[in-house]
Amino acid sequence: MKKVLTAILIMALIPGILAGCGSKSEGSNGKVVVYNWGEYMDPDVLTLFEEETGIKVVYDEFETNEIMYPKVDAGAVAYDLVCPSDYMIQKMLENDLLAELNFDNMPNTKNIGSMFMEKSKEFDPENKYSVPYMWGTVGILYNKTMVSEPVDSWDILWDEKYKDNILMQNSVRDAFMVALSRLGYSINSTDEAELQEAKQTLIDQKPLVQAYVIDQVRDKMIGGEAALGVIYSGEALVCQQQNPDLDYVVPKEGSNIWIDSWVIPKNAENKENAEKFLDFLCRPDIAAKNFEYITYYSPVEGVKEYVEDEYLLNSPLAFPDPEQYTNCTTFHYLGEEADEYYNEIWREVQAAGTSE
């Protein structure tokens, strides 16, 4: 009797196994494997695309460029469409990981503001490999009830008054960007003396920092856990909507202005589907949907006309003019050696001062 039961159990599970492997892989028109930042697209957009095209979207997420890179590099998962930032695209290009895009398949890419295509040339010199998805700046989100003085400088993140009330970004380039900007150096510095100095400032700052986090800045700032947090511009809007005491500023010393763009890795198995999806994302109505959901700035022209959310339409933070950020720079890929050096000194910052 027991044997029969086990057999039934196994039989019952076999369709499950097949479904487990099968349902993941195919829609009626194949699939596209997308690798995007966490919480960086409206899930409805995926459904809409699947309904319109019959292409199944397999969706995976990463937290930082540095986590994304080894996965694409190892090739254990064949992604069709990936959304790295500027400097990482440059690195992937230099390491020959990217496939050239066929813009004939993507008529909607003409909706991308020309200034963003121009800016993309910094990392994709001929505009052949990438299509911008979102852009923004890095700045300080602060709680007006907890910070009385005006916030306009990175220096405030080193102010003893705010000990244990400061949130820093837990990714190597962003953390060093803050330190280098504060010291007045280029955020793409490869000068050892400058970087050592930056490292030291970060180590000095560490006792004041409550936590090094990535997207958690949002939760913590909304809940009033901290007074100041380094954050991407897109998050600022959501936070302010939830907690009106919050405000966002790009410090006067300058900061990072970034573009996250879509690229297709060389080992992609569904390149045409990837281009269809990319084209879909460049439609203003779809871009508007994504903007309303994640509140990062879209480079697609005409987005504003499709935005319905009153709060977003009226917020001064929502549609900034990219031209105003003259003191902000884009990250560049600095070469393998500099990469390793950054990792090394970042590790020193991370390991510093915990031996209490």
Give the residues lining the site for another protein (CB under 8 A): 2-3, 9-10, 13, 16-17, 20-21, 24, 33, 35, 38-39, 43, 58-61, 63-64, 66-67, 69-70, 73-74, 76-79, 164, 170, 206, 209-216, 218-220, 222-225, 242-243, 340, 343, 347-348, 350-351, 354-356
Query: Least distance in Å: CB of 115 to another protein?
Result: 29
Return the structure tokens found at 329. Answer: 């720079």
Query: Least distance in Å: CB of 203 to another protein?
Result: 11
Helix 336-351 × helix 192-205 angle, to 10°: 20
CB 188 within 8 A of CB 332: yes
Cα-only R_g, the chain: 22
Query: Least distance in Å: CB of 279 to another protein?
Result: 21
Alpha helix positions (H), the chain: 2-25, 43-53, 65-74, 86-94, 114-120, 172-183, 192-205, 216-222, 233-242, 271-281, 284-294, 310-314, 336-351
Q: Tell me whether residue 248 or residue 346 sits nearer to another protein (CB atom).
A: 346
Alpha helix positions (H), 75-215: 86-94, 114-120, 172-183, 192-205
Query: Least distance in Å: CB of 148 to another protein?
Result: 19
Q: Tell me whether residue 67 or residue 115 sits nearer to another protein (CB atom).
A: 67
Q: Tell me whether residue 79 or residue 297 sits nearer to another protein (CB atom).
A: 79
Q: Residue 248 and residue 232: Cα distance in Å, rounded?
A: 10
Query: Least distance in Å: CB of 350 to another protein?
Result: 5
CA–chain centroid gap for 181, Å, is 20
Q: Tell me whether residue 212 or residue 306 sits nearer to another protein (CB atom).
A: 212
Q: Tell me whether residue 52 or residue 73 sits nearer to another protein (CB atom).
A: 73
